[in-house]
Amino acid sequence: MAEPEFRATGVRIGRRLRSLTRAGQVRISDGRLELLTSYGTEIDSAPLRAVRTGKPWFAPQDRALAEVNGTRYLLTLGEHDPVPGEAGPPTVRTFLEAVRSAAGGRRD
């Protein structure tokens, strides 16, 4: 398996008002977006061409939306990029740029 193009740990993943995990993982690898629990169990995944991402209008800067297989997830990432070599969630901007570049520059 190839090295992930993007990986974030410590991400809060929620669906509507329900929190699915407080320390989940978001991974982009081989053209797929994967949402995982802190234990590595898959919550949802899909090819990037079937994923829509963006920022909610009236939410803090550390939140991103991801629509995977028709289900909307609210991702709470970090306010600052982690120090190199340390684990932690990157910023929303870094996540959105990684999705765009892995999908071939497509914008949603």
Tens-of-pLDDT digits for all 108 residues of the chain? 566 789 999 999 999 889 999 999 999 999 999 999 999 999 999 999 999 999 988 888 889 999 999 999 999 997 777 777 777 778 898 999 999 998 876 554
Residue 42, in any domain of the structure: yes
Residue 1, in any domain of the structure: no
Q: State the CATH number of the domain containing residue 23.
A: 2.30.29.30
Domain extent at residue 57: 6-103
Domain count, the chain: 1
In contact, 45 and 27? CB cutoff 8 Å: no
Q: Which residues contact 10 (CB under 8 A, 6 or more apart)?
A: 23, 24, 78, 87, 88, 89
Residue 108, in any domain of the structure: no
